């Protein structure tokens, strides 16, 4: 089950990875073509510039408008064992047929009723069914008279018929289910900042094992994140609502309260974790401090600029899980504080300075209260620095550079040729080609399914630069940072694993 959830979470990362670019287009285009922005900065009122900004805004909006289909495609691409292109085609066909079935049934039986938008839930349902049918039937042999429709051609056909049934089921069950989601969202809203705290705390805890992708999409893209009417259209999901308001030139006042599912990230990612990095660096013995300066500066800047926190979190997660729980608690408190201060900054996928600038500063303090992030961030920097310094010294946590072995080395960037050679070595350390069932990777983790976890040489893999190696059942996660995807590609090529 753990491995399946890992794969689902990773599959979602494929389409979600598109969002930063779409967010940049929508953020810059929407902000600089906004009537209030033009009034404040008249030099922007140039037809040529406004045409460019309008195109940018439209280009970004179309991505968010079709996010459910993109999630369906990502799920199929991520979970298909072979011939992924056919699986994606089947998923798209299924998604279109499912929605067409719902629309047809509404027109027949409930022409005056509200439209049904299954959003990410429908995407998950039809994407899962499409990939299941693909993995089972992509090599099916039909009778000779129907032979043309055999093999991979059969998959989109059977998926389309299955999608008719799925659409009919959604037509029957979605209205009450939708109301249930709305009630759940209202329940969280009634909890107020306490509910926001639990959202941030639990999501960060799940991030330790890479399962946070199973949590936040339900709040970002479904009724759990709120329901609002923007520019005459009913929008569901915290992120969808935020970007709809961002694209609406007539929107005034603070952005939706759904931004409470984003705003707490900025203090942690831009200030708190860099403070933790400084604390760990300061505790490195002076004779080795220069050797580790670049390492800690790199992970701190990564967190500050992009909001990608895994590189720094893996420095202490495995050597001190309790410290990670403390970090998760502080992150939850950051969400709590942002909520009570009415900080209303949205984001694409992270809480780094890029999103902070686009969706905080450029939108104006009147809409976002972004200025409050600065004093909160200063407090969070000091808090993380103090807590990490105390805890590491008190319990002698072996963070990088504090180990007794003075000969330890900091992983360095290697050439393409050495990556290739190292991949061959990693295959042997994983128990050899015959022990490897599947290989994959996310941003920082090499994820491998093996037959026998006991055949994996964890210590030797660590010696090759892995921050740590996590074993759950027959699933292996080796944290290599940015090199993980390079190792994955090389290993897949050597083993002949079909992408």
The catalytic residues are 442
208, 317 Cβ separation under 8 angstroms: yes
Residue identified by tokens 């999901």 is 237
- Measured CA to CA, the distance from residue 488 to residue 377 in angstroms comes to 37
Using DSSP's 3-state secondary structure scheme, residue 468 falls into coil
In whole angstroms, how far apart are CA 119 and each of 65, 92, 122, 220? 10, 14, 6, 11
Please give the helix or strand (H or E) that residue 348 lies within, else none: none
Residues 6+ apart with CB under 8 A from 91: 72, 73, 75, 76, 126, 127, 130, 131, 159
Which residue in the block uniquely carries the two structure tokens 């050797």? 291
* Residue 87 token pair: 């699986």
The one-character DSSP state at 47 is H
Backbone angle region of 401, left / alpha / beta, with phi > 0 → left and psi within -120 to 50 → alpha: left
CA neighbor of 133 nearest in space, from 152, 113, 110: 152
Phi-psi region of 481 (alpha: psi -120 to 50; beta: other; left: phi over 0): left
* Secondary structure of residue 367 in the 3-state scheme: helix
Backbone φ, ψ for residue 66 (5° rounding): -115, 25
Terminal CA-CA length for the chain: 22
């Amino acid at each position: 089950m753990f491995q399946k959830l890992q794969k689902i979470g990773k599959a979602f990362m494929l389409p979600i990875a598109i969002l930063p670019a779409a967010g940049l287009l929508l953020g810059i285009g929407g902000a600089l073509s906004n009537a209030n922005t033009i009034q404040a900065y008249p030099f922007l009122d140039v037809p040529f510039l406004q045409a460019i900004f309008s195109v940018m805004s439209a280009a970004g909006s179309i991505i968010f408008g079709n996010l459910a289909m993109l999630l369906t495609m990502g799920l199929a691409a991520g979970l298909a064992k072979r011939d992924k292109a056919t699986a994606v085609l089947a998923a798209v066909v299924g998604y279109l047929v499912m929605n067409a079935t719902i629309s047809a049934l509404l027109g027949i039986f409930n022409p005056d009723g509200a439209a049904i938008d299954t959003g990410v839930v429908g995407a998950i349902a039809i994407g899962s069914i499409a990939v299941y049918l693909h993995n089972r039937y992509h090599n099916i042999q039909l009778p000779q008279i129907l032979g043309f429709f055999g093999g991979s051609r059969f998959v989109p056909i059977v998926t389309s018929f299955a999608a008719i049934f799925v659409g009919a089921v959604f037509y029957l069950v979605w209205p009450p289910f939708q109301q249930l989601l709305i009630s759940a969202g209202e329940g969280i809203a009634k909890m107020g900042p306490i509910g926001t705290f639990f959202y941030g705390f639990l999501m960060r805890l799940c991030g330790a094992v890479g399962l946070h992708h199973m949590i936040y999409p339900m709040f970002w893209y479904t009724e759990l994140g709120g329901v609002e009417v923007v520019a005459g259209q009913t929008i569901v999901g915290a992120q969808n609502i935020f970007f709809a308001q961002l694209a609406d030139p007539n929107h005034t006042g603070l952005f939706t309260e759904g931004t409470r599912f984003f705003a707490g990230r900025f203090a942690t990612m831009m200030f708190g974790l860099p403070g933790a990095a400084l604390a760990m660096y300061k505790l490195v013995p002076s004779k080795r401090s220069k050797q580790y300066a670049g390492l800690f500066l790199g992970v701190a800047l990564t967190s500050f600029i992009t909001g990608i926190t895994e590189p720094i979190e893996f420095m202490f997660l495995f050597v001190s899980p309790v410290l990670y729980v403390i970090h998760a608690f502080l992150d939850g408190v950051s969400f709590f504080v942002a909520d009570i201060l009415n900080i209303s900054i949205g984001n694409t996928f992270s809480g780094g300075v890029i999103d902070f600038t686009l969706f905080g500063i450029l939108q104006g303090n009147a809409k976002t209260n972004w200025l409050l992030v600065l004093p909160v961030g200063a407090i969070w920097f000091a808090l993380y620095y103090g807590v990490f310094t105390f805890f590491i010294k008190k319990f002698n946590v072996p963070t990088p550079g504090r180990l007794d072995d003075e000969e330890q080395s900091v992983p360095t960037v290697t050439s393409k040729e050495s990556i290739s050679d190292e991949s061959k070595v990693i295959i042997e350390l994983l128990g050899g080609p015959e022990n490897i069932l599947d290989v994959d990777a996310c941003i920082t983790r090499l994820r491998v399914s093996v037959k026998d976890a006991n055949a994996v040489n964890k210590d030797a893999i660590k010696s090759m630069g892995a921050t740590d190696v996590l074993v759950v059942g027959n699933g292996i996660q080796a944290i290599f940072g940015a090199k993980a995807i390079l190792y994955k590609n090389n290993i897949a090529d050597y083993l002949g694993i079909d992408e």
